[in-house]
């Protein structure tokens, strides 16, 4: 399963803590991330992460494109709803694309934990079936 990771600057430390806590589950999947988020996750965990451009410089759009093309199976987007800067990725387009393409998405750590536990238990096997039908 390909999991995309995005975190606003104020949530990057939380993303690294989350990835450290769930390193075993995440290591069994392919990770792709906006540039800085991917680098901090890789540096903190050693997990292989395909790093795209930084979020404010096109990385969020790259992930949006991957979602639209069926190349992302889950999105973990730790966003700051209160103090996000204008150059940080905007959630509206990403969430709309996830809804259009039935991509599980978490915008905070609580929902991310639910998705990761579901992934670990095999509750998200329907994603592989859905992807196979579109190929």
Total domains in the fold of the chain:
1
- The pTM of the full predicted model, rounded to 2 decimals, is 0.92
List 86's β-bridge partners, or say none. Answer: none
Domain that holds residue 114: 2-134
Q: How many CA atoms lie within 13 A of 20 on its CB side?
A: 11
Whether the CA torsion 32, 26, 113, 117 is positive or negative: it is positive
Give backbone dihedrals phi and psi of 46, rounded to 5 degrees, phi first. Answer: 80, 0
Per-residue model confidence as pLDDT tens digits over 9-42 = 999 999 999 999 999 999 999 999 999 999 999 9
Give the pLDDT confidence of 13-22 residue by residue, as tens digits: 999 999 999 9
CATH code, 33: 3.40.50.1380
User: Which residues in 79-132 belong to E strands, given as ranges?
Assistant: 105-106
């Amino acid at each position: 399963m390909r999991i995309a990771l995005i975190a606003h600057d104020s949530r990057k430390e939380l993303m690294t803590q989350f990835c450290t806590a769930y390193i075993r589950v995440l290591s069994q999947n392919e990770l792709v991330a906006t540039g800085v988020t991917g680098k901090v996750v890789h540096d903190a965990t050693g997990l292989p992460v395909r790093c795209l451009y930084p979020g404010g410089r096109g990385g969020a759009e790259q992930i949006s494109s991957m979602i639209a093309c069926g190349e992302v199976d889950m999105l973990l987007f730790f966003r700051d709803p209160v103090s996000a800067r204008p150059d940080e990725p905007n959630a509206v387009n990403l969430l709309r694309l996830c809804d259009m393409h039935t991509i599980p998405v978490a915008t905070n750590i609580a929902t991310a934990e639910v998705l990761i536990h579901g992934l670990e238990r095999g509750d998200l096997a329907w994603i592989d079936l859905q992807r196979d039908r579109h190929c």
